[in-house]
Structure 1
Amino acid sequence: MKKVFIIEDDSRIRDELCTFLTRYGYESSFSINFKNIVEEAIKENPSIILLDINLPYFDGHYVCREIRKVSQVPIIVVTSRDDELNELMSINLGADDFITKPYNLQILLARITSVLKRTYGNAQADFLRYREIIYNIAASQVEFNNSKIELTKNESKILHILINNSGKIVSRDEIMKCLWQQAEFVDDNTLTVNVNRLRKKLEDLGAVGYIQTKRGQGYILT
C-alpha cells in the first residue's frame, strides 16, 4: 500500500486529507512534531509527501531542502501561496509538483497518482496480490490458482479497496462513498448485492471465505 505522509498544521485540512486518501486505498500518516518534522518524515518512510509551506518553526521550503539532502521521496507542495515565485522555489528545492489551496480533492488525487507513477513506474500499480489472489487492476480481472474471471467496475473497486486495507475492517459507508461519492442517495442494499456478486465470483474460482462480513461494521479480507 502506498503511504502518504502529510505535513500540514491545520488539523481540519489534515483530517480531511487522511479520510479522503484512506477512502481511495492509501495509507496516510502525519506528525504534529513540527520542530523535528524532517526527522519525522524520514522515519515514516512514506511513498510520497504532501508538504504545506506555512508551518510552525520552519517553512516548507526549508523542510523540502532538508528532506532532499537525505531522500528522493516524491514531494508535492500544497499551499495557499499561489504566486509563481513560490512555485519556482519549490521546484528548484526538489519538489515534484505544486498545487494551490483551495484545491479540488480529485485533482490532488490525480496529481498524487501521476507523481507516484513517474517515480515508481506502472508495474506495481497494475497488479495487487492478497494471499493466492492476484488482482489485475488494468484488466479488471482476478486470478486464483491459474483461473481468471472478469469483474464489473463496482466489483473491481470493492476488491481494490479491500486489498489495500487488508487486515482491516472497511466500513460499508467508506466503500459506498468510494463507489458512488454521494452515498446518501444510494440504496444500502445495492452495496450488498455488489459484494455478494464479488464473493460469488471469488468462490467460483475456489477462493472461498476471503471476504468476511462483520455485522454492523463492514467487510474484511481474511
Structure 2
Amino acid sequence: MYKILIVEDDSKIAGLLQSHIQKYGDRAVVVEDFDHVLQQYKETDPHLVLLDVNLPSFDGYYWCRQIRSLSTCPILFISARSGEMDQVRAIENGADDYITKPFHYEVVMAKIRSQLRRVYGDYAARMEERKVENSGLILYPERMVLQLKEQVIPLTKKESILMETLLERCPRVVSREAILEKLWDDAFVDDNTLSVNITRIRKKLLEFGIEDALETVRGVGYRLNITWKDESGL
C-alpha cells in the first residue's frame, strides 16, 4: 500500500482525489494545515505528493522546493493555471509532472500509478542517491539541494545543473558555451540570461558564507575555486 499526500485547499477536489486513491487500495492523507505542509510531509512520509499551486500562505512552488530538500519522491502538480510558464516553473522547482484543472480523475490516477511504477516498481532503479562533491560542498542533483556541513540550501533545476557542471570541473575553467549547452541544449539564450543564473549561484554560495569563489574568467567562462582554511587559519 502506497501513501499519497494531497496538498489541495479545495476540500471537494481533495475529497474526490482521496476517494479515488483509496479505491485503488492505497492510503491518501489530505493536508489541512497549510502553514505547516512540510511538517505534515515529514509525519506522513508519503511515496508521492499531489500539490496545488494556489495555496494559502505559501504557494505550491515554495512547498515543492521544501519537500525536494528532503526527498526525491514524485511530486505531481494539480492546478487551474494552464500557462506554459507555470508548468516550466513547476518542473524547475522539482516537480515530476503537471496536470491542469479541470481534469478527469482516472487520468490523475493513471499518472500516479505511472510515477509509482517508475520509482518503486519492479523495474525501478536500485541505486544510492547520486551526489557531486568538491571542496566540502555536496550537491544532490535529484533533490536539487546544496549542502555544506549541516547547512542545506535548495536550488532551482537550472541552478542545480549549473552547480553540478562547476563542481565536476572545479577548479578548471568552464566555458560559457559548455554551460549554455548543459542548461539549454543549444537553444538560443542571450548573455544576460546566463549572467542572471551565475549571480543566483553566487548568492547561494554567500548563504554559506563563501565569498569570491565563483570567478569570471574574462573571454572564456567561469571557474569555481574554493580554498578552505583549517581551524588554525592556515
Separation (CA, whole Å) in 1 of partners of 2:62 and 2:51: 11
Q: How does 1:134-153 map to 2 (within 5 A)?
A: none
Q: Hey, what does 2:18 align to over in structure 1?
A: 18
Post-superposition offset of 1:122: 2.8
Separation (CA, whole Å) in 2 of partners of 1:13 and 1:97: 18
SS at match of 2:14: helix
Q: How does 1:181-196 map to 2 (within 5 A)?
A: none
Q: How does 1:64-143 map to 2 (within 5 A)?
A: 64-122=64-122
So what's the TM-score if we normalise by structure 2? 0.51
Post-superposition offset of 1:121: 2.6
Q: Hey, what does 1:45 align to over in structure 2?
A: 45
Separation (CA, whole Å) in 2 of partners of 1:8 and 1:103: 14
Post-superposition offset of 1:30: 1.6
Q: Hey, what does 2:4 align to over in structure 1?
A: 4
Post-superposition offset of 1:21: 1.0
Q: 2:76 corresponds to which letter in structure 1?
A: I
SS at match of 2:9: coil
Q: 2:7 corresponds to which letter in structure 1?
A: I
Q: Hey, what does 1:162 align to over in structure 2?
A: none
Separation (CA, whole Å) in 2 of partners of 1:80 and 1:122: 34
What number of residue pairs does the alignment pair up? 124
After TM superposition, what 4+ stretches of structure 1 lie above 4 angstroms from structure 2? Answer: none
Q: How does 1:158-173 map to 2 (within 5 A)?
A: none
Q: 2:62 corresponds to which letter in structure 1?
A: Y
Q: Hey, what does 1:138 align to over in structure 2?
A: none
Separation (CA, whole Å) in 2 of partners of 1:78 and 1:43: 22
Q: Hey, what does 1:27 align to over in structure 2?
A: 27
Separation (CA, whole Å) in 1 of partners of 2:21 and 2:38: 22
Post-superposition offset of 1:25: 1.4
So what's the TM-score if we normalise by structure 1? 0.54
Identity score, percent = 39
Separation (CA, whole Å) in 2 of partners of 1:46 and 1:111: 16
Separation (CA, whole Å) in 1 of partners of 2:93 and 2:119: 17
Separation (CA, whole Å) in 2 of partners of 1:53 and 1:59: 5
Residues 123-163 of structure 1: CA distance to partner in whole angstroms, max 9, x if unpaired? 69xxxxxxxxxxxxxxxxxxxxxxxxxxxxxxxxxxxxxxx
Separation (CA, whole Å) in 1 of partners of 2:19 and 2:31: 16
Q: 1:42 corresponds to which letter in structure 2?
A: K
Q: 2:104 corresponds to which letter in structure 1?
A: N
Q: Hey, what does 2:213 align to over in structure 1?
A: none
Separation (CA, whole Å) in 1 of partners of 2:25 and 2:121: 18
Which has the larger share of helix? 1
Separation (CA, whole Å) in 1 of partners of 2:62 and 2:32: 17
Separation (CA, whole Å) in 1 of partners of 2:71 and 2:39: 11
Q: Which runs of 5+ in 2 are unaligned?
A: 125-234
SS at match of 2:72: coil
Residues 179-200 of structure 1: CA distance to partner in whole angstroms, max 9, x if unpaired? xxxxxxxxxxxxxxxxxxxxxx
